[in-house]
Every structure is written in C-alpha cells, then in structure tokens.
C-alpha cells in the first residue's frame, strides 16, 4: 500500500502528480512488451486536479477501441492512442464515478467473456436452441 | 408467580417496528381479554439536553429516532423559535424598547430553574427593532418540502417493509402465474414495471431464495397461516413492489440530502434552513438542484399514485374483516401542521388541530397546548417517580421524571402488569386516552370538510364497499395512512412551485439571523414546538434560562399510542385496539397482534424518555 | 438445502461474473487495496458461502439500519449486503416474538465460529432493566451472541463509542460494545449514522480475507477513517484564503465559502463524507450549507456547541511537506 494524504492546497490546479504518472505508464508498457507483465494504476488513489485529469485524457487520446459495458451501471473502456494502454471508468446506476483506472495490458479483463458466464450461457443456449428447433418443426405452434 | 401470569401471552420482540416493544396479553381462550403494551428500552435524551445551547438542541433531539428522522429536529427548532418569538411579542406588548433590560415572558405555570451551576449570559436581551420576526417563507416552504418527503418516504416504506409481510405470504408467491399477475397489475395502474417478464424474474428470485435454504429475514415466519388471504398473484405483485419500493426510497430521500446534507439525520438550523439559495453558484440550491428536486417529487407522486395507493385498495379488498376490529378508544388528537405562512397561524395548516371524542365527527374540540389541565403525563404504570407521588399527571412544562426501575430483574418471563410495566409514560388529554397519527389526521380533515380528504376517503370506501364506520379499525388506519400520503404528495408540488415562484421574484432568503443571536433571547422563556410527525402529534416543550436549556420534555406520538394504563386504569391506544375483538387462530403465531400493532407504525425510541428537572439522577431498583 | 457460494448466488440473481469483477475492482479501490488484489478478492469472495449475519439492536434510534437501507437495492455498492444471510434483524425480519428469538439462537448454533455479529446502539450498564429484548438484558444478549461469533462489527457511534446515550450525564450508564466484548476482533464503523458503503466494504473485505481491514487506533477502518473531512473538503481553498461564511445565508454562505467560523468540526473529524458523500454521492452536510458536527468521533456530543468554532485557526493550516507529498508509484 502506498497511500499518502494529499491535501487539497489553496492552489488546487496543480498536484504535480501527472508527470510521474505518465513515466509510470511508459515503464509499464515496456514491461508488458518485454515480459508480458500486465499492470493497473488506480487513479482514485492518485489525486489529480481537474486540469491535470483533463491533461491526462488529452495526453492518452483515443485509439481504435471503445467499449460500453452495462454492469449495474456503465463502465466505459477506451483504448488510448498508445496500443496496450487503456482508460477504464466505472459508474454506478446514478452515474457517479466509482473507479478510474489506467490498464496496461493486451486486453482488459472486463471486456473478456468470463468462464463462469459462458458455462451458464451454454445451458441457456441449449434451452433456446431446443425451443427454436421445436417451433421450426411445427409452424402452427405459438411460443410466448 | 401469580396464576394469571402463566396464562399470559407474551410477544417480545415485536419486530418490524422502530425500537423495543413488548406485548403481554391475558387471554380468554384464544381471544385477547386484556392487553399490556410495554416499551422495554430507555436512553434519557431529555436529561441529556439539559444545560445545552438551544441552537444545538435539534441535533440531539433528532437522534431520538432515525426512522422518523427529521421530525424531532424540526419540533426542536420550532420549540426554540416559539420560545424566542413569544418573548419578543410579549415585550412588544409591554412596550419594552430595544436595549432595555429584558422582561421575562409570561408563561403559564411555574418557571423551572433547575440549573447545574451554569453561568449563562447576563446580557440584556434585546427586542429586535424592526420586529422582523418571521421565519422566512422560503425556509417554511423548504421545511414543508422536507417534512412532506419524510411523510411519503416513511409511509410507503412502512407499508412495504414493515407492514406488508403481515398481509402478504412470501412463499405463496411461488405458485403465482406471471402472466396473470401482469394482467392484474395492468388493471390497477399504468405503472411500467408490470410485464409478465418482470414478474417471471421476480418469481424466480423468490424461488432461489427459498431453495437456497437461507431465507434470511423471511425465515421462521408465519407463511401458510390461514389468516393470509391473498391469491398467489397478488402476493407476487406485492413482493415485486416491496423490492421496487426499496429502490425507490433510496432515491427520493435526496430531497433531504440536498437541503440537509444527508439522510438519515439531515441538518437544521434555528431561524431558518442551512442551505442557501443561489442560482448562479455551483453550491447551494441552484438550477441543477432544483431540477433534481423536481425529479424526486415526480418520482414520489408516481409511486404513490401508481403503486402504493392501488396496492392498498387491492390488498384491502381481501381483508375487509379487518375493518371490524382494531380501534378501541374512539378518541383522536391532532396538533396540526404544514403551514403556508407560519406555525402561529393554525388556519393555514394543511392538517388541522383538534380533538375528537367517542368517534363523534360532528364535534371537534379545541386544543390548547399551553393549558396545564389539558395535556398531562401520568406515570402510575411506568418506571418513573414524580416527587409528589405517581397518582397525578403533569403538564410538560412542569414535567419531572426520575428513573425508577421496579420491574423484574432480567432475564424475566413476565412483567408485573398490575403495577409498573413500561418505560413509556401515559399522556392524556383532559383525562382521555387519545390516538394520534394518520387516522386522527384523516378523520380531522374529513370532519372539517377538507375537499380532497372527503373525495379520497369516500371513493376508497365506496370501492371497497365499506361504510364510514370502517375507518375505525386496523384496516381503516392502514387506509388512512395511504390517504394522507396521497394528499401530502400532491401538496408537495404546490410548495415546490411556490418556492420556485419566490426565487423567480428574486427572494432567496432562507434564514433569519435574529433568532440565532443570543443577544435577542429572553433571560427566561418557555415555548412549545409541535409538528405532525408521520406517526402522529409530536410536541417538544422547552424552558430556557440564561441562554441554556433548563427543562426539555418531548411528548411523542408513540407515547400517546403505546403508553400504558393511567391511574384510572384506562388503557392506551394499542392496548385498547388489541382488546377490540382479536381472536388468535394460533396463539403461538401472533399474526393478528402484529397486524394491528403495525397499523399504528410503532416507533419506540421516540416514545421513551427520561427527565430530571433537578438535574439529579436518582436510581432505585426494587428486586422482587 | 446446502449453502450456496456467493458466485452461485450472484449467477442465480442474474448478475454476471463480469459485474462481480467490476464490484471487486471498485471495492478494492475504496479499501485502498492495490489492483493486483482484485483477482484475489474475486476468487475468495466468489467462493465464500453466504455468510450468516446477526444484527443486535440495543439503545439505538435505528438510524444506522436506515442508513444501510438507503443503499439497499441491487446496486453495485450493496451487492455484498444483498447476499449475506441476515438471519436476525428487528426492523425488517418477518418473524416476531419467540419465533424471532428462535431464529437468532438457531443461526448461532448452526454457524458457531463463523457468523458475524453486527451491533447498533449502546449498552446500558446502570441497570439491566433499562433495555431488554424478550426479557433478556442487552448486556446478557450481547455476551451470549458474541461468544461464538467470528467477529463483531459495531455500527454507528453509539455502538462504537457510546454515542448519544453516553452523553453527559449518561442517565443509563451506557457503554460501547468494545467496553464489554474484549476477546473478539471488533471493527468500529462510527458515524451518526455511518456511511453505508463503509459497512458493505468491510463486509466484502472480511469475506475475502477472513479478517478485518487495517484499522486506526480507535478500531475504525483506515480506508474510510484515515483522513479528516478537512483534508478532503472541496471548500478547502476558501479556508486557506480565510474566506469564511460569518452567518447562515450571508454572502459567504451563498457563495460556498468555508464554514469554519460557523463551528465546522471537519478539521478534527475522521470520516469519508467529503469524498464518498451521502445518498449515492448527492451531497454532504458542508456542501448543503451546514458545518460538520463531527459525528464519527467519540464523545462528540460533549465537545462544546456545534456552532462554536475550533480556534485557533492556524492550528489547521496546511503544513508544507505534508501537504505537498506526491505519489511515489505503486
């Protein structure tokens, strides 16, 4: 754990945390390519002023992928202009931000289908295939 | 142990209420002959209030209850404001000019001087020059909006999360047909969450819960009791609404959060409200907040009109026999509330003030809150001792109480119901035991020919094919709660619009600093702050000396309703209600008792209090 | 009927594993855990069987229960709370009287050493008759119920520190849970009432790691009580510039200036209201114009008037070095 108390000083426009952060991202991407090691940076534990947050978003920019995930509230995943560097924002159902991360990885965990969900889906799929087959056999049958 | 104690039925804890309530009942076969209601927990908050700054009092008082949060904070602020304003008005009458030595106000009854050596302020209390002594109208409107939100939130939550399980059989919902349920819901209202798919999901949820073996809060209850009369589809629909209401209630309290910072226990201030109005600022009540408020208000109206009220009528239809029991006093009391102008103008109240006796709606008695012979508290059946003996009652301004627990040493099986058996006192109005709460208010409005009340009551009774007399019952009380919720939620929009109107005209004042400055307070003063809390008539009587509280008494709704017998052995409202034709199908499953008690919406933390006017604590424990 | 795991429970509720992972990630963030802990949380939490929780109400006002109910819905935040087995809780349980007490005793018997005990309200020691349930005094019920608990969570300032019943002159001899139970792990989640998310996060942590998270010297979880309101208050710049509201509704108040001179206890109050805020992040006391009461601190009722400023002002000035510390990298 690496928590320090950061005061909101009277000069709320500059915490100075932006530069070390982008250095860290660079280092992490290097590690990913070299050894496959994935990492995440929790932005909520690293206060940035609103200006610095905006600067970070501008710095990261947009790549080719944007994912909107509905999971008890939205999660927005954006590939930055640096392949392998992703920005993830979690919202709850009333649009409050619950978490914000920079992930340095091949594919963020949350986009991937989960094994458990797939197993459950398989049983659902079997039922659905069954039903479809039955209704195609006898066109007069009305299924609700 | 006396022979009768062996036959007494005991239900403790009564759950799905606020606080700690115990019922003991003498039975005649399976019918309740005599019921005894006991509050089994005490904290002593009035004693804790002594010596405090009156401006802090609301914060302490508010913690009397977190379910009916807001009500005690509101009554407390009003008691302080009433005390100060009375002193100003009496000074003005006497022609006392600003800056001259303060006159004492003219209270009725003896003054209290119990101080624990507190130095206090010796400054001259000034009467304001401008006599601008009103609480700003915006503050009144905001307070009304907050109170109304509490009503709507509290009543809806009460029905679904505290009362409904007495009428709705959770397990029976498993037999429901989702398509039929959807059809049923569709006939009741236009509420969108009524599709067959929605009810199918709901049914699956219940199935999972039951099959998991861990029923949680639904475990060990009375499912399958023959007293449950609803068809499976109504059970499923009600259960779905139970869960919807849980979601809804979370959102509508934001009205409190916006004005008061948080819920539970929003913040108040003597002299107005703490939240400023400033359309141009990013803080305070601005355009964005006003929009959020309107959203919450619309949400409240939608749920009351489309879900709560239709459910009451739908469910009530299957329990019409509960219009034949559950009201044993016939006496009703309201202090009145929700002023358009100020608390000093009862004619501007939405809920009128008055008393009804013997179920006679044609005669409404006036109520004088300061008159010593009207409202009195007795302790003949309570664990307190008055210095002049326990046979007499005391008006709250003269209130004095010492803790004296004379009950059995725990763990115990029975209380001594022939002696003292509760931490609640017995309030009486002109010697009569009174019921307070939604039934009292609706009857008062109906008797005073309030058009909206008449219309809703008459149409509901007609729909249920019941007559006016049906109101005096468990079902009637439950219906009354829904009726007043409907009235209040409509009024909510009117107050909001009035607030918007003021703001548009450039009036954004929310606070009168004159009340907040001790320089303007009388050296001695007393006053009462009243409100109609969701559960009934609430009053805080305060006495002030040299800038601190010297005496503080709360007479709260559940004390009126749940209090024990008085020296004449007249039972309280709960006791009388339970004694009104309650036969238990199975005394080991006291469903019938719960139905009636829950119709009162008990709040026991409110009902119990301790006060020692001399500032001393004397404890005497009698061991039997 | 066997106890289901949390994974199974969630699946049956139609909550995907993906959603569950999101919950784990955001909870880890709230609890100030590194992101590498997320996988561990997901694994441990997922396979936890639905834990039994017993809730005892003593000298309370029910505000703490109400606070949790404000987040009780299928929301991400309350995911964990929806999935514990709340076998005994006066406000919402269906059974009453003997059946209710039986539910409590059964829950204890069937889960010895594994259930969590939640308590709200203080316990009166002046006389056992001051507060009873089913004829049993609070202190006896507490000792009996804690005896086989895996751990105790004291919810609210009353249970954590004695709260309002303990305020001068403490008419009933009220004490905190920790004053009575000294042989079990205890967490104090103080506040009047506490932020509901603190409760759900602590539960989630416990289910994952089988212990309570890091606590401060008053046994409060550091993740929520490690900083003062003042440290995170959005009005702090006004404090630094000495721009104070002098009265309610004055120019300063209307413009959102610092409420220090109106008696704000923010500088001495440890809680997360300024960041997490209340009722799904809608607002918090200072933002709505009222100074902080300090309600998560012991004996805050007896620390002088709520409108008495905490002078000297300079005592709470940002110190260079502490105020300017930077993130060192994970």
Q: Which of B5, B9, B11, B15 to mutate to test the interface with C (most CBs of C within 10 A)?
A: B15
B47–C98: do the CB atoms touch at under 8 Å?
no
With 80 as the cut, is the pLDDT of residue B43 above it? yes
Residue-wise pLDDT for B231-259, tens only, equals: 999 999 998 998 888 889 888 999 999 99
- Taking residue B483's Cβ as centre, other Cβ atoms within 10 Å add up to 26
- pLDDT at B98 exceeding the cut of 50: no
A130 CA to chain C: closest CA distance, Å?
Answer: 21
The answer on pLDDT for C153 being more than 80 is yes
- Whole-number mean pLDDT of chain C? 85
Chain A partners within 8 Å of B179 (Cβ): 144
- C329 min Cα distance to partner chain B (Å): 34
Give the model's pLDDT for residue C275.
85
Task: Name the closest residue on chain A to residue B179, using Cα atoms.
Answer: A144
pLDDT at B89: 87
- pLDDT at res. B296: 95
Measured between its terminal Cα atoms, the distance across chain C in Å is 45
| Domain's final residue, options C173, C190, C225 | C225
CB-based contact C35 A39, cutoff 8 Å: yes
Q: Are residues C220 and C141 in the same domain?
A: yes
Q: Test B213 with C1 for CB contact under 8 angstroms.
A: yes
- Number of structural domains (chain C) is 2
Note whether A117 contacts C: Cβ–Cβ < 8 A: yes
Are the C-beta atoms of residues C145 and C54 closer than 8 Å to each other? yes
B280-293 mean pLDDT: 90
Q: A1 touching C, CB under 8 A?
A: yes
- A-facing residues of C in 199-238 (CB < 8 A) are 226-227, 231-234, 236-237
B331 Cβ neighbours under 8 A, 6+ residues apart: B355, B356, B357, B358, B429, B432, B433, B434, B435
What is the spatial distance between Cα C121 and Cα C177, in angstroms, rounded to a whole number?
9
Helix (H) / strand (E) containing C88: strand C85-88
pTM, to two decimals: 0.86
Residue A94 near chain C (CB below 8 Å): yes
- pLDDT reading at C328 higher than 60: no
Show which subunits contact B, needing at least 3 CB pairs below 8 angstroms.
A, C
**Domain-wise residue ranges, chain A:** 1-110, 113-144
Residues C223-264 pLDDT 10s? 999 999 998 898 998 998 999 999 999 999 999 999 999 999
Answer whether B11 touches C (CB < 8 Å). Answer: yes
Last residue of a domain, one of C201, C225, C249: C225
Chain A partners of C236 at a C-beta cutoff of 8 Å?
Answer: 7-10, 12
Which CATH number covers residue C201?
Answer: 3.40.50.700
Q: Which residue do the tokens 């509905």 mark? A: A70
Range name among A85-94, B416-425, C95-104 with the lowest pLDDT average: C95-104
* Residue C11, in any domain of the structure: no
Question: Would you state the torsion angle of the CA atoms of residues B512, B58, C311, C318, taken in this order, to the nearest 10 degrees?
Answer: -100
> Could you check whether the bond before residue B472 is cis, i.e. omega within 30 degrees of 0?
no
Residue C140 in any domain: the answer is yes
Say whether residue A114 is in contact with chain C using an 8 A CB cutoff.
yes
Query: Same structural domain for residues C241 and C215?
Result: no
pLDDT above 60 (res B482):
yes
Q: Could you say which of 3.40.1190.20, 1.10.645.10, 3.90.230.10, 2.60.120.20 is the CATH number of the domain covering B140-322+479-504?
A: 1.10.645.10
Domain boundary (C225, C240, C267) is at C225
Nearest-angstrom CA–CA distance, B458 and B462: 6
* Total beta-carbon pairs less than 8 A apart between chain B and chain C: 335
pLDDT band per the 50, 70, 90 thresholds, residue A5: very low
Give C324's contacts in chain A (Cβ within 8 Å): 7, 9, 16
pLDDT digits (tens, 9 = 90+) for A53-79: 889 999 999 999 999 999 888 999 999
CB of B427 within 8 A of CB of B334? no
B187-204 per-position pLDDT tens digit: 999 898 888 888 988 888
Is C322 or C2 the better-scoring residue by pLDDT? C2
Domain encompassing residue C139 = 51-225
- Checking if the pLDDT of B616 tops 80, the result is no
Do C197 and C94 fall into the same domain? Answer: yes
Residues C129 and C252 in one domain: no
Asked if the model's pLDDT at residue B162 lies above 50, the reply is: yes
CATH number at residue C267: 4.10.480.10
- Residue C233 belongs to some domain of the structure: yes
pLDDT at position C165 over 60: yes
ipTM computed for the complex: 0.89
Asked if B292 lies within 8 A of C131 by C-beta distance, the reply is no
Nearest chain B Cα distance for residue C88, angstroms: 7
φ, ψ dihedrals at B247, nearest 5°:
-75, -45
pLDDT of C325 = 29
Inside any domain, residue C301: yes
- According to the model, what pLDDT value does residue B2 have? 31
Q: For residue B436, give the 3-state DSSP assignment.
A: coil
Q: Provide, rounded to the nearest whole percent, the portion of chain B with pLDDT above 90.
A: 60
Average pLDDT over residues B578-601: 91
How many angstroms away from the CA of A139 is the closest CA of chain C?
32
More confident residue, B104 or B182: B182
What was the pLDDT predicted at B243? 83
Chains that touch A (3 or more CB pairs under 8 A): B, C
For residue A108, give how far its alpha carbon lies from the nearest alpha carbon of chain C (Å). 11
The answer to whether C123 contacts chain A (CB < 8 Å) is no
- Can you give the C-alpha Rg of chain B in angstroms? 25
B-chain residues within 8 Å CB-CB of A94? 251
Least confident of B109-113, B388-392, C115-119, C214-218: B109-113
At C49-88, the pLDDT tens digits run 777 888 898 998 889 988 887 775 456 555 665 667 777 7
Bond prior to B275 in cis (omega within 30° of 0): no
* A46–C29 CB contact, under 8 Å: no
Q: pLDDT band for B615, please (50, 70, 90 cuts).
A: very low
The answer to whether B290 touches B173, Cβ cutoff 8 Å, is: no
How far does A25 lie from chain C, in Å, by closest CA?
10
Comparing alpha-carbon positions, the chain A residue that sits nearest to C75 is A72
Q: How far does the CA of residue A94 sit from the closest CA of chain B (Å)?
A: 9
List pLDDT tens digits, range B321-337.
999 999 999 999 999 99
**Contact residues, chain B, for C174 at CB < 8 Å:** 43
C5 CB-contact burial (10 Å; exposed 0-12 / middle 13-18 / buried 19+): middle
CATH no. of B3-45+329-472+555-607: 1.10.645.10
> Residues C233, C220: one domain?
no
Of C74, C168, C287, the CB nearest to B261: C287
Residues 264-293 of C with CB under 8 A from A: 280-281
Q: Give the integer Cα–Cα distance in Å for B187 and B203.
A: 20
- The residue of chain A with its CA nearest to that of B247 is A93
Task: Quickly state the pLDDT bin for B497 (edges 50, 70, 90).
Answer: very high
Residue C162 has pLDDT above 90, yes or no: yes
CB contact under 8 A, B276 and C248: yes
Same fold, B3-45+329-472+555-607 and B140-322+479-504: yes
Cross-chain Cβ contact C135/B411 below 8 Å? yes
pLDDT for residue B168 is more than 80: yes
Would you place residue B124 in the very low, low, confident or very high pLDDT band (cuts 50, 70, 90)? Answer: very low
Please tell me which of the candidates B69, B263, B511 has its beta carbon nearest to residue C279: B263
Residue C311 pLDDT class (50, 70, 90 cuts): confident
Please indicate, yes or no, whether residues C169 and C184 belong to a single structural domain of this protein. yes
Neighbouring subunits of C (3+ Cβ pairs under 8 A): A, B
Cβ pairs bridging A and C (under 8 Å): 133
Classify domain A1-110 at the CATH superfamily level: HupH hydrogenase expression protein, C-terminal domain (3.30.1370.140)
Domain segments of chain B as ranges: 3-45+329-472+555-607, 140-322+479-504
CB B383 within 8 A of CB B539: no
Position C224 scores a pLDDT of 93
Contact list in A for residue B251 (CB cut-off 8 A) is: 94
Give the pLDDT score at B618.
Answer: 25
Q: Could you give phi then psi for residue A127, rounded to 5 degrees? A: -60, -45
CB contacts of B162 in chain C (<8 Å) are 91-92
Strands B384-385, B524-533: parallel, antiparallel or unpaired by DSSP?
unpaired
Distance from CA of C285 to the nearest CA of B (A): 4
Residues C152 and C256 both lie in one domain: no
What is the model's pLDDT at position B589? 87
- Smallest Cβ–Cβ distance between B413 and the set C135, C248, C289 belongs to C135
pLDDT one-digit tens code per residue, B348-376: 889 999 999 999 999 999 999 888 899 99
Whose CA is closest to B348, among B87, B144, B508, B512?
B144
- Please judge whether C133 and B292 are an interchain contact, meaning their C-beta atoms are less than 8 angstroms apart: no
- Whether C136 has a pLDDT exceeding 80, the answer reads yes
Q: Which residues of A touch B (CB under 8 A)?
A: 94, 144
Helix (H, G, I), strand (E, B) or coil at C114: coil
Mark yes or no for CB contact C193/B59 under 8 Å. Answer: no
- Percent of the residues in chain C that have a pLDDT greater than 90, as a whole number: 48
Q: Could you give phi then psi for residue B355, rounded to 5 degrees?
A: -135, 145
Cα-based distances in Å from B79 to B47, B531, B562:
17, 10, 24
Strand B402-403, strand B384-385: pairing: antiparallel
- The reply to whether C77 and C131 lie within a common domain is yes
Would the CB atoms of C130 and B513 count as touching at under 8 Å?
Answer: no
Taking 50 as the threshold, does the pLDDT of residue C1 lie above it? no
What is the percentage of chain B residues whose pLDDT exceeds 70?
Answer: 88
The single residue listed with the structure tokens 């006016």 is B468
**Does residue C23 lie in a domain region?**
no
């Amino acid at each position: 754990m690496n928590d320090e108390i950061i005061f909101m000083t009277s000069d709320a426009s500059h915490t100075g945390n932006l530069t070390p952060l982008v250095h860290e991202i660079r280092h992490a991407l290097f590690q990913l390519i070299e050894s496959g090691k994935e990492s995440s940076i929790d932005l909520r534990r690293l206060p940035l002023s609103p200006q610095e947050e905006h600067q970070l978003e501008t710095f990261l920019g947009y790549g080719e992928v944007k994912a909107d995930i509905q999971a008890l509230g939205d999660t927005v995943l954006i590939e930055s202009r640096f392949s392998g560097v992703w920005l993830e924002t979690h919202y709850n159902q009333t649009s409050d931000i619950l978490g914000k991360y920079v992930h340095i990885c091949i594919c963020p965990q949350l986009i991937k289908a989960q094994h458990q969900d797939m197993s459950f889906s398989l049983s659902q799929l079997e039922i659905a295939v069954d039903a479809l087959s039955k209704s195609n056999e006898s066109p007069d049958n009305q299924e609700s | 142990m006396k022979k009768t104690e062996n036959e007494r039925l005991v239900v403790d804890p009564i759950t799905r209420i606020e606080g700690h309530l115990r019922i003991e009942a003498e039975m005649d076969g399976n019918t309740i002959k005599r019921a005894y209601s006991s509050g089994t927990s005490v904290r002593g908050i009035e004693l804790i209030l002594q010596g405090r700054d009156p401006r802090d009092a609301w914060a302490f008082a508010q913690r009397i209850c977190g379910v009916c949060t807001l009500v005690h904070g509101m009554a407390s602020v009003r008691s302080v404001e009433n005390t100060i304003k009375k002193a100003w008005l009496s000074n003005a009458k006497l022609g006392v000019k600003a800056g001259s030595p303060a006159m004492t106000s003219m209270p009725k009854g003896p003054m209290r001087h119990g101080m624990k050596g507190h130095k206090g302020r010796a400054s001259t209390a000034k009467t304001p020059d401008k006599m601008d002594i009103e609480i700003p109208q915006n503050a009144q409107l905001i307070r009304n909006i907050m109170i109304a939100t509490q009503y709507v939130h509290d009543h809806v939550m009460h029905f679904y999360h505290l009362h409904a399980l007495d009428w709705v059989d959770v397990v029976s919902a498993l037999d429901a047909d989702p398509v039929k349920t959807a059809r049923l819901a569709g006939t009741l209202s236009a509420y969108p969450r009524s599709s067959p798919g929605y009810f199918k999901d709901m049914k699956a949820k219940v199935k999972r819960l039951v099959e998991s073996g861990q029923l949680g809060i639904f475990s060990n209850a009375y499912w399958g009791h023959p007293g449950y009369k609803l068809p499976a589809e109504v059970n499923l629909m009600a259960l779905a609404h139970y869960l919807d209401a849980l979601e809804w209630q979370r959102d509508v309290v934001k009205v409190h959060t916006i004005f008061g910072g948080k819920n539970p226990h929003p913040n108040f201030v003597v002299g107005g409200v703490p939240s400023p109005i400033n359309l141009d600022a990013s803080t305070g009540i601005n355009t964005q907040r006003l929009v959020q408020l309107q959203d919450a208000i619309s949400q409240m109206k939608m749920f009351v009109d489309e879900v709560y009220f239709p459910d009451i009528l739908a469910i009530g239809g299957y329990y019409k026999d509960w219009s034949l029991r559950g009201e044993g006093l016939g006496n009703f009391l309201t202090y009145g509330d929700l002023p358009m102008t100020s608390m000093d103008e009862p004619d501007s109240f939405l809920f009128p003030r008055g008393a009804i006796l013997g179920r006679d709606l044609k005669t409404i008695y006036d109520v004088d809150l300061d008159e010593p012979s009207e409202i009195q508290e007795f302790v003949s059946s309570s664990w307190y001792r008055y210095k002049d003996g326990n046979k007499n009652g005391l008006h709250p301004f003269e209130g004095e109480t010492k803790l004296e627990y004379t009950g059995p040493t725990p763990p115990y099986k029975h209380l001594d119901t022939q002696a003292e058996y509760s931490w609640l006192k017995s309030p009486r109005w002109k010697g009569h035991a009174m019921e307070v709460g939604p039934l009292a208010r609706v009857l008062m409005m109906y008797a005073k020919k309030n058009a909206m009340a008449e219309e809703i009551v008459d149409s509901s009774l007609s729909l249920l094919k019941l007559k006016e007399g049906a109101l005096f019952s468990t079902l009637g009380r439950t219906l009354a709660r829904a009726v007043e919720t409907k009235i209040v939620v409509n009024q909510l929009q009117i107050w909001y619009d009035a607030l918007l109107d003021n703001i548009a005209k450039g009036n954004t004042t929310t606070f009168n600093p004159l009340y907040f400055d001790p320089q303007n307070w009388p050296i001695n003063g007393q006053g009462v702050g009243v409100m109609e809390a969701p559960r009934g008539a609430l009053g805080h009587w305060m006495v002030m000396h040299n800038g601190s509280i010297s005496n503080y008494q709360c007479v709260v709704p559940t004390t009126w309703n749940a209090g024990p017998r008085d020296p004449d052995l007249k039972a309280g409202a709960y006791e009388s209600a339970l004694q009104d034709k309650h036969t238990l199908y199975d005394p080991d499953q006291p469903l019938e008792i719960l139905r009636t008690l829950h119709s009162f919406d008990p709040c026991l933390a409110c009902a119990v209090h301790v006060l020692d006017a001399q500032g001393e604590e004397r404890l005497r424990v009698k061991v039997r | 009927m066997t106890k289901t795991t949390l994974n199974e429970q969630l699946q049956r509720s139609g909550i995907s594993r993906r959603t569950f992972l999101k919950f784990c990630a955001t909870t880890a963030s709230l609890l100030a855990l590194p992101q590498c802990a997320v996988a561990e949380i997901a694994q441990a939490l997922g396979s936890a069987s639905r834990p039994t929780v017993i809730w005892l109400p003593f000298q309370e006002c029910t505000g703490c229960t109400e606070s949790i109910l404000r987040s009780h819905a299928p929301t991400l935040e309350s995911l964990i709370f929806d999935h514990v087995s709340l076998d005994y809780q006066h406000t919402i349980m269906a059974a009453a009287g003997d059946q209710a007490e039986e539910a409590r005793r059964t829950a204890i018997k069937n889960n010895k050493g594994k259930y969590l005990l939640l308590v709200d309200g203080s316990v009166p020691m002046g006389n056992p008759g001051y507060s009873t349930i089913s004829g049993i005094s609070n202190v006896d019920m507490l000792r009996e119920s804690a005896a086989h608990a895996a751990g105790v969570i004291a919810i609210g300032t009353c249970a954590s520190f004695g709260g309002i019943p303990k305020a001068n002159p403490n008419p009933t001899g009220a004490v905190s849970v920790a004053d009575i139970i000294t042989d079990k792990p205890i967490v104090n989640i103080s506040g009047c009432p506490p932020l509901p998310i603190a409760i759900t996060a602590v539960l989630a942590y416990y289910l994952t790691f089988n212990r309570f998270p890091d606590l401060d010297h008053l046994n409060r979880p550091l993740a929520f009580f490690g900083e003062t309101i003042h440290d995170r208050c959005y009005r702090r710049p006004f404090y630094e510039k000495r721009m104070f509201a002098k009265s309610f509704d004055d120019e300063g108040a209307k413009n959102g200036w610092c409420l220090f001179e109106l008696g704000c206890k923010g500088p001495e109050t440890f809680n997360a209201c300024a960041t997490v805020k209340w009722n799904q992040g809608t607002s918090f006391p200072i933002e709505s114009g009222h100074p902080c009461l300090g309600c998560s601190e012991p004996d805050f009722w007896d620390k002088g008037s709520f409108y008495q400023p905490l002078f000297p002002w300079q005592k709470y000035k940002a110190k260079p070095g502490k105020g300017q510390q930077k993130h060192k990298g994970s």
